[in-house]
């Protein structure tokens, strides 16, 4: 029986509203004659507002790209005839756009069926999720911009913004969790201290290390050279001589002190500037 080999790049998408799920369907004809097939796409939706329309762009079947709007109230079944030349591949590109007004958790399920003597089918699941957008700021203005963004979002009732973060270790950027990345640039327009938006979005996994930082005490060893970043000795350099993990405290000796008097501070009050050897001496 002559059959097409069929491949699909991805079937499970979690993307923000208004961004496309890019699907590539490859029909491979390994036979010495042309093969024909029927392509059917059957959509269904799990949404709070079933009247919202999803857009689907289909390219690679006819001479021109076709665009369709489908919704839960009018879920059209799409059918096409596809010819695959002998010993050739046929690439079909599907771009599926969730509605911009859709909510987190809304799902579109698109059953793709290729009938070539034997029916091949896959469910493409597109779930609306948040993404992380990086807003570029002037150095030192990160917290100010984050606060102004939060206040503006609250006053305007922008439900599409879920969280705003200005990580201590990320200079010049504020991270915004949103279901509408396309709106962030207009939201910050005219806001002092901002310099635009980084192209593209990130997933929560990409910034998780900013949300759960490694405890400072576990990164410090005896003999390390540190700089005090807060308190009356801010800016002074010292050597670590003792560590109390239970209390999250370290004891240091200041380099500039005339008499080496031990000082105990919280671990977060210092930053390591030079690693010491295992025996406690500086490298």
State the CATH number of the domain containing residue 260.
2.30.30.30
Q: In what order do the strands lie in the sheet with 249-254?
A: 262-266, 249-254, 237-244, 225-228, 270-274
Query: Could you tell me the two tokens for 220?
Result: 């410090």
Q: Put the strands of the sheet holding 66-71 in their side by side order.
A: 5-8, 21-28, 89-97, 53-59, 66-71
Q: By CB neighbour count within 10 A (0-12 exposed, 13-18 middle, 19+ buried), where does 22 fall? A: middle
| Domain limit, last residue, from 67, 102, 128 | 128
pLDDT of residue 256: 81
* Same domain flag for 200 and 93: no
Residues 50 and 19 in one domain: yes
User: Are 163 and 260 found together in one domain?
Assistant: no
Whether 225 and 198 share a structural domain: no
- In Å, how far are 35, 167, 212, 274 from 209, measured between CA atoms? 51, 10, 5, 23
102, 128 Cβ separation under 8 angstroms: yes
Q: Does residue 283 form part of some domain?
A: no
Residue-by-residue pLDDT tens, the chain, 283 positions: 458 999 999 999 999 998 999 999 999 999 999 999 999 999 999 999 999 999 999 999 988 999 999 998 877 899 999 999 999 999 999 999 999 989 999 999 999 999 988 899 999 999 999 999 999 999 999 999 999 999 998 888 888 899 999 987 788 999 999 999 988 998 999 999 999 999 888 888 888 777 765 667 888 999 999 998 888 888 899 999 999 998 889 999 998 877 778 999 998 889 888 888 655 455 4
CB-CB contact of 25 with 11 (8 Å): no
Phi, psi of 109 (to 5 degrees): -120, 120
Domain tally for the chain? 3
Whether 43 maps to a domain, the answer reads yes
Rounded to an integer, what distance in angstroms lies between the CA atom of residue 111 and that of residue 91?
18
Domain that holds residue 232: 216-274
| Of 280, 267, 140, 143, residue with least CA distance to 214 | 267
Of 211, 234, 250, which one is at a domain's C-terminal end? 211
Is residue 281 one of the residues assigned to a domain? no
> For residue 212, what pLDDT is reported?
64
Q: Is residue 282 part of a domain?
A: no
Give the domain-ending residue among 68, 96, 128. 128
Note the pLDDT of residue 2: 57
Domain CATH for 182:
3.30.70.940
Looking at the domain assignment, is residue 279 inside a domain?
A: no
Structure confidence at residue 200 (pLDDT):
85
Measure the CA–CA gap between 267 and 29, rounded to whole angstroms: 65
For 157-171, b where at least 16 C-beta lie within 10 A, e where not — what string?
A: eeebbeebbbbeeee
Bridge partners of 123, per DSSP, are 111
Place of tokens 């042309």: 34
Whether residue 204 is found in the same domain as residue 256: no
* Cβ atoms 80, 34 nearer than 8 A: no
Does residue 162 belong to any structural domain of this protein? yes
Residues 118 and 174 in one domain: no
Q: Please report, for residues 91, 197, 223, the alpha-carbon distance to residue 36 in angstroms, rounded to integers and kept in the order given.
A: 14, 47, 74
As given in the structure block, the two tokens for residue 206 are 């990409």
């Amino acid at each position: 029986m002559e059959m097409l080999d069929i491949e699909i790049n991805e079937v499970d998408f979690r993307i923000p509203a208004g961004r496309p799920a890019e699907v590539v369907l490859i029909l491979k004809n390994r036979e010495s004659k042309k093969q024909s097939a029927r392509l059917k796409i059957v959509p269904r939706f799990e949404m709070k507002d079933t009247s919202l329309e999803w857009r689907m762009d289909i390219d690679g079947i006819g001479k021109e790209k076709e665009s369709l709007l489908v919704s839960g109230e009018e879920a059209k079944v799409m059918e096409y005839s596809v010819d695959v030349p002998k010993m050739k591949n046929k690439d079909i590109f599907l771009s599926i756009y969730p509605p911009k007004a859709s909510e987190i958790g809304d799902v579109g399920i698109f059953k793709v069926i290729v009938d070539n003597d034997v029916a091949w089918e896959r469910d493409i699941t597109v779930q609306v999720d948040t993404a992380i957008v990086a807003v570029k700021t002037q150095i030192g203005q990160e917290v100010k911009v984050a606060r102004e963004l939060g206040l503006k979002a609250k006053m305007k009732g922008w439900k599409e913004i879920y969280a705003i973060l200005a990580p201590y270790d990320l200079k010049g950027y504020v991270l915004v969790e949103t279901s509408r990345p396309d709106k962030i640039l207009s939201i910050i327009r005219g806001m002092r201290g901002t310099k635009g938006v980084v192209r593209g979005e990130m997933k929560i996994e990409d910034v998780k290390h900013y949300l759960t930082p490694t405890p400072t005490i576990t990164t410090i060893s005896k003999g390390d050279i540190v700089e005090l970043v807060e308190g009356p000795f801010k800016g002074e350099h010292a050597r670590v001589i003792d560590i109390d993990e239970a209390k999250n405290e370290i004891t240091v000796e200041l380099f500039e002190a005339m008499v080496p008097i031990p000082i105990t501070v919280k671990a977060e009050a210092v930053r390591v500037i030079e690693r010491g050897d295992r025996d406690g001496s500086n490298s």
